[in-house]
Structure 1
Amino acid sequence: MSTQNRRYDIDWLRVIAIGLLLIYHIAIAFQPWGIMIGFITNSEPWLSLWTPMMMLNIWRIPFLFFVSGMGVHFSMQHRNWKGLLQERSLRILVPYVFGMTCIVPVSVFILQRYYQWDLAYAVNPGHLWFLGNILAYVVLLSPLFYYLKKNQNGKFVVGMKKMLSNPLGLIPVVGLFIAEVLVIKPIPYELYAMTWHGFVLGFLAFFVGFCFVLCGDSFWSMLVKWRWLFVVLASALFLVRLLVLGLKTPGYLLVVESDCWIFSVLAFGNKYLNHPSKALSYLSQAAYPVYILHMIFLALASWLIFPMALAVPLKFVMVIVLTFAGCFGAFEIIRRVSILRPLFGLKMKKRSLAVNGDNPGLARA
């Protein structure tokens, strides 16, 4: 894709979202329930971490689905339908299968050894469930995406562009997600991995993310113009959830809050992050391998740090440093070894490799 059409803000937001995912997973290791979902947990929890986690957990995964749908739009600019499916299969399916057979078992093994459990593993996607969903959405939605892209002067696309040039046009979008939660009734709302709620919610977010980019500048101008309204609404709904409703917050309010956070992040990203940088070039390539590897290095860091007699906040910082250092150290090896690159979603190394945008599984072509 030409640099004139490149959306650096979306690249930045994907990188930030992956960074938040890692920090969120590290925070789970400091919650007493973390062991129930496959995390080594510190013997002394840090319960105050739950407040920021509570704010993040209703929108961080839906946001990644939004951004991934946007990335497909850019990938389609220089690929036909067959080429898109071939490229996504290579750069999502290969890491997905490799991860289930070689990455997830390692993190499970470390967990079992730490707690001295019997060693056992049944093949499952683990934290890589997201990749399976994305590949399914590409297969299911790409015919519709190509139809919409080829018929941008048709009634549907023209009407959608007109609707989404006004903030009130977001009401039907939010309505789609409210309908999903009313029909599926997920408990809890934040349980996305390998559930029908996670699949349908991701499907809708993937589709809507594509449509947002398809709508062009009029949509993004509207979003930026009303960004503070989205922030205020999201913050108010979070405070109501935190201070008043708690676990009794109805699903439709969680949807509205989630979408308002997502609209806010997209708006501020578009206003302040739509510019290239060397840091973005590096991090955009690193994000996919780091996402694939992070549970191994989180488990190793937890095994090393948690037995130490240290203050809990210090342990938290040390686990963050060790996890990120391990992931990026491994990435430095992976990106230099041609045979490893496809296993982690990177293009085969060429003489002149365009670093920026080498992370298709989580959004970009």
Structure 2
Amino acid sequence: MNDPSPRRYDLDWIRIGAFFLLILYHVGMFYVPWDWHVKSPHPIAWLEPVMLATNPWRLSLLFLVSGAATRFMADKLAPSILAGQRTARLLPPLVFGMLIVVPPQSYYEIVEQLGFDQGYLAFYGRYLTASGNWCDADGCLITPTWNHLWFVAYLLVYTLVLAGLIAWGRPALIRLEQALARLPAWTLLLAPIVFLGLARAVLLPRFGVTHALVDDGYNHVLSFSMFLFGYLTAKSEAVRTRLIALRWPALALAVCAYLAFSLYAWTWRDAATDPAASLVLAMRFVYAVDQWGAIIAILGFGARHLNRSHPALSYLTLAVFPYYIVHQTVIVVAGHHLAQAGLPQALEAALLISLTVAACGATYEVVRRVPLLRPLFGLKPEAPAVTTAERVLPIRNG
């Protein structure tokens, strides 16, 4: 039986699931034949369509759920307090991550790709002072960098922008929220697909995806629109009801679009010529169908089946952010060294996943017990032991 309370446990579960999918995705990036920080010497071509199963929607879903969490906070706080609290929660992990957590990723990247052999201390001094001059035919490595922590930087900026909108444009936000709540179910499904397809067709060729904040126009339109949608619909029972009703049609659309886009991507992955412009344009919209259909399906099934608490939720809700902060560095370092051990690839992959989960878990268990470390990993500066106040943090509490 679903929990009848207004707590959105379903969004907590979805957030946790999306972050753990991200960990598996980055393990896959070590093996798939796409560019990444470090690579297996034995790439696995068939992983490409597997990776594409979550590529269109995974991060968009995280921004949407983050917007919903922000809504429950914003309704209890003045905009200035909201901005201050989120800055205090997100900025320390971002700075700490750029200075301590992320540098090993860049180090092993230049070791593998540029043959750097002067050791980590020599690297780190150049990393901090942006004086490495680590370049190849594709460009130069700019440091310090945030790598996978770009999500934290963008989330912080979007929260500050939203706080400004709440302070100076609350009536407009209310009208927009009311308009979304009145949308018929099929409009809720189809209109965002048109928007996402147009954004991908017009903005992606111009901007690409850089994760560099200042020149990432397509990604901002995509990610901030998802963040704002989550904020505006988090408390709408009408939208929640329509999401549940749409879950099966949305899933069918997402599966069909995924199959079509995967076939397209596989067919043209090694082609000597580019596909026709009309085909590329069509695939922009097919990608959008996959993207929004999957998000609607996940939200709908989640609202229908996951809106309930569980003893594991109290642990996972707190653990997921520290896991996210450290996971990619563990994958890069462990992947680089495991690749040199000559193990069977299946065993190597199993060890890489196991080491990543174990290292993330150990990090969280240490961090949550050390008050000075908690803010650096996105945890509130509370007592080191888990207290009653930490037991369950539903999505409405941010």
The reply to whether TM is greater than 0.5 is yes
> Per the alignment, do residues 297 and 24 of structure 1 end up closer, same or farther by CA in structure 2, a change over 3 Å counting?
same
Which residue, out of 146, 153, 168, partners 1:125? 146
> Per the alignment, do residues 59 and 170 of structure 1 end up closer, same or farther by CA in structure 2, a change over 3 Å counting?
same
Which residue, out of 195, 202, 211, partners 1:193? 211
> Per the alignment, do residues 158 and 199 of structure 1 end up closer, same or farther by CA in structure 2, a change over 3 Å counting?
closer
3-state secondary structure, aligned to 1:100: helix
User: What is the rounded CA distance, in whole Å, between the counterparts of 2:233 and 2:57 in structure 1?
Assistant: 17
Contact 2:97 2:149 in 1 (8 A): yes
Deviation (angstroms), 1:295? 1.8
Which residue, out of 357, 366, 374, partners 1:341? 374
Aligned residue identity for 2:295? I
Deviations 1:125-179 (A, max 9, x none): 1110111111111111224346787789x6543332111x523233333333233
Please give the residue correspondences for 1:152-167 in structure 2 after superposition, counting only pairs within 5 Å: 155-163=175-183, 165-167=184-186
User: What is the rounded CA distance, in whole Å, between the counterparts of 2:89 and 2:17 in structure 1?
Assistant: 21
Paired position in structure 2 for 1:250: 283
User: What is the rounded CA distance, in whole Å, between the counterparts of 1:175 and 1:240 in structure 2?
Assistant: 18
Paired position in structure 2 for 1:57: 55
> Per the alignment, do residues 263 and 169 of structure 1 end up closer, same or farther by CA in structure 2, a change over 3 Å counting?
closer
Which residue, out of 178, 194, 204, partners 2:225? 204
Deviations 1:274-320 (A, max 9, x none): 11112111111011111111122112321332123332222212101
Which residue, out of 177, 181, 192, partners 1:173? 192
Residue range with higher mean Cα deviation, 269-278 or 320-329 = 269-278
Which residue, out of 209, 225, 239, partners 1:219? 239
User: What is the rounded CA distance, in whole Å, between the counterparts of 1:330 and 1:14 in structure 2?
Assistant: 20
- Compute the RMSD of aligned alpha carbons: 2.7
User: What is the rounded CA distance, in whole Å, between the counterparts of 1:68 and 1:357 in structure 2?
Assistant: 17
User: What is the rounded CA distance, in whole Å, between the counterparts of 2:294 and 2:92 in structure 1?
Assistant: 33
3-state secondary structure, aligned to 1:5: coil
Deviations 1:61-92 (A, max 9, x none): 11111111111111123211111001110011
Aligned residue identity for 1:141? L
3-state secondary structure, aligned to 2:321: helix
Tell me, yes or no, if structure 1 residue 354 matches structure 2 residue 374. no
Deviations 1:242-266 (A, max 9, x none): 2357554531221121010111111
> Per the alignment, do residues 353 and 148 of structure 1 end up closer, same or farther by CA in structure 2, a change over 3 Å counting?
farther
Please give the residue correspondences for 1:81-160 in structure 2 after superposition, counting only pairs within 5 Å: 81-113=79-111, 116-118=115-117, 119=123, 120-121=126-127, 122-145=143-166, 155-160=175-180
Contact 1:10 1:269 in 2 (8 A): yes
User: What is the rounded CA distance, in whole Å, between the counterparts of 2:109 and 2:324 in structure 1?
Assistant: 18
> Per the alignment, do residues 187 and 44 of structure 1 end up closer, same or farther by CA in structure 2, a change over 3 Å counting?
farther
Paired position in structure 2 for 1:299: 332
Larger Rg: 2
3-state secondary structure, aligned to 1:42: coil
Deviation (angstroms), 1:19? 0.5
Contact 1:230 1:261 in 2 (8 A): yes
Paired position in structure 2 for 1:24: 25
Deviations 1:203-249 (A, max 9, x none): 111111112214x1111111111211001011111111223575545
TM-score (norm 1): 0.88
> Per the alignment, do residues 33 and 179 of structure 1 end up closer, same or farther by CA in structure 2, a change over 3 Å counting?
closer
Question: What runs of 5+ residues in structure 1 fail to find an aligned partner?
Answer: none
Deviations 1:330-354 (A, max 9, x none): 1100000000000111001237453
> Per the alignment, do residues 187 and 228 of structure 1 end up closer, same or farther by CA in structure 2, a change over 3 Å counting?
farther
User: What is the rounded CA distance, in whole Å, between the counterparts of 1:137 and 1:19 in structure 2?
Assistant: 23
3-state secondary structure, aligned to 2:350: helix
User: What is the rounded CA distance, in whole Å, between the counterparts of 1:356 and 1:143 in structure 2?
Assistant: 32
TM-score (norm 2): 0.81
Contact 2:33 2:48 in 1 (8 A): no
Deviation (angstroms), 1:5? 2.8
Deviation (angstroms), 1:357? 6.2
Contact 1:292 1:344 in 2 (8 A): yes
Contact 2:313 2:392 in 1 (8 A): no
